[in-house]
Amino acid sequence: MLKETGWVNFYLPDICRDRLLHYAGVLGELAVGFAGPESKKKEADFIPVEGADEGFLLYQRQQLLSRERNREDMAIMSQSLQETAGLLKQLATDVFALRPMELHRGRQILKMLKLEGVLAENPCYYPTESGQQGILITLYSQRRMGMRAEEVADMLSVLLGYSLQLSLRSPIYVSEEKHSFLFVPEAPYLMLTGYAKATKEGEQVSGDNLAVLEQERGRVQLLLSDGTGSGGAAGESSGWVLDMMERLLESGYSVESGADMVNRALLYQNNTILHPTLDVCDIDLYRGTCGFYKAGGARSYLKREGRVEEIRQDNLPLGFFEKLGLEVQERRLMDGDYLIMMSDGVTEVLMSGQYGELFESTLEELADQNPQVIAEKLLQLIIRLSGGHICDDMTILVAGIWEKAATA
């Protein structure tokens, strides 16, 4: 039987447990990165010297460096705790913002799902940034085979009068066991991506890594990292950067705070050789906006109706300074826009031969709509301009944006 009170607290264990565990895992991995190799610490504890005076001066210097390192470590811990507190606060806000559904509407949903062999309990409204309301509901099946949760999303969409989709955090199937399911409004924009890569001649592994991270509430992040040099070591460092950024962003960190955490981890590993870049495009498919963040990242492009805009930032890669200080360059998106991101291997060819204008004009004239085809054609152009040689790792990532109302 439906009740108008007592629904909210029911969702706390099921909807929050996995996220809290994820936060703990991320902080644990970051702690390992901040600590660095134990052997390096032991070697730095004592340096043999000749002469008491010189030894005393070196001892003072070591003490000073040790205190400075402790101060930096405390700053890292403080930042970690602050970020964690912010995430937990946001999580608590999300939970207690749930609003019980009206009794008549709730009964309609329960009756409709029961006819399909699905039992439902405690439907609640879940506020979203789009202004429309998501639905949080407990579901379990009367049938052994269960039902795909996407089918439930379709039924809810028909009943409520607006399109809903299954949250990425929810189970895919409705089974005999009770689970909480979150259904969120579909974003007005959709996106397709494609990429093309070429590994430096003589190397087996690319130093470039990319990722496309889908978030809740219509948020998508395009991530690209170029490791220092080429080969396995470069690929390992850029891969670690993207892996940690994915984990942090999935946990609720902002791009700026996540990048700052990764930067500090690299800085305090005593690694003076590897300084991977970080290039992020943060896309909001509800608002139709995007933001570019670059830590040593190569130039990017926005292609719109035959015109091309170059987007660049002149700053250093990760691991050089304690404060990264990322700045965002925001752009409004329109139907038919294309976002193009690339690694340094591509821009080096453009700069070395003064091919920038040729590249932009070619991009302007491309009539292809498939992002994968665009990425492949652009990479083929770059390889031709370099005389058929691949002197550095090359990566091109393309995203196409379309408004659903315009494509319907």
Residue 34 confidence (pLDDT): 53
Q: Do 85 and 111 fall within a single domain? A: no
Tokens of residue 345, six digits: 């291997």
pLDDT in tens, 107-144: 999 999 999 999 999 898 887 766 678 899 999 998 87
**Residue 218: is its pLDDT beyond 70?**
yes
Q: Do 104 and 64 fall within a single domain? A: no
Does residue 4 fall inside a structural domain? no
Q: Give the residue from 96, 114, 142 where a domain finishes.
A: 96
- DSSP codes joined into one string, 65-111: HHHHHHHHHHHHHHHHHHHHHHHHHHHHHHHHT-EEPPHHHHHHHHH
Residue 60 CA to residue 71 CA, distance in Å, equals 17
pLDDT in tens, 246-259: 998 987 788 998 99
User: Of 208, 268, 182, 144, whose CA–CA distance to 393 is shortest?
Assistant: 208
Residue 377 CA to residue 371 CA, distance in Å, equals 10
Q: What is the pTM of this model?
A: 0.79
Sign, Cα dihedral of 265, 234, 240, 351? positive
3-state secondary structure of 402: strand
Q: Do 244 and 312 fall within a single domain? A: yes
Does residue 286 fall inside a structural domain? yes
φ, ψ dihedrals at 396, nearest 5°: -130, 125
Q: What is the DSSP letter of 98?
A: -
The number of domains in the chain is: 3
- The residue range of the domain holding 171 is 98-185
Q: Do 201 and 124 fall within a single domain? A: no
φ, ψ dihedrals at 151, nearest 5°: -65, -35
Q: Give the residue from 185, 200, 234 where a domain finishes.
A: 185
Residue 280 confidence (pLDDT): 97
Q: Do 155 and 257 fall within a single domain? A: no
CATH value at residue 402: 3.60.40.10
Q: Do 138 and 265 fall within a single domain? A: no
Q: Do 225 and 349 fall within a single domain? A: yes
Q: How far is CA 401 from CA 130, 196, 248, 342, 397, in A?
A: 18, 18, 25, 18, 13
Residue 360 CA to residue 381 CA, distance in Å, equals 11
Q: Do 243 and 347 fall within a single domain? A: yes
Does residue 1 fall inside a structural domain? no
Q: Do 247 and 102 fall within a single domain? A: no
Residue 314 CA to residue 291 CA, distance in Å, equals 16
Does residue 352 fall inside a structural domain? yes
- Give the lowest-confidence range in 33-37, 73-77, 361-365, 388-392: 33-37
Does residue 144 fall inside a structural domain? yes
pLDDT band at 231 (very low <50, low <70, confident <90, very high): confident
Edge-first strand order for the sheet with 329-332 is: 208-214, 219-226, 278-284, 289-295, 329-332
pLDDT band at 85 (very low <50, low <70, confident <90, very high): low
Does residue 354 fall inside a structural domain? yes
Q: Are the CB atoms for 241 and 262 separated by under 8 Å?
A: yes
pLDDT in tens, 6-36: 334 444 445 555 666 666 666 666 656 555 4
Q: Give the residue from 33, 65, 96 where a domain finishes.
A: 96
Does residue 268 fall inside a structural domain? yes
Q: Do 326 and 222 fall within a single domain? A: yes
Q: Do 56 and 112 fall within a single domain? A: no
Q: Do 216 and 290 fall within a single domain? A: yes
pLDDT in tens, 265-315: 887 765 556 789 999 999 999 999 999 999 999 999 999 988 999 999 888
Does residue 393 fall inside a structural domain? yes
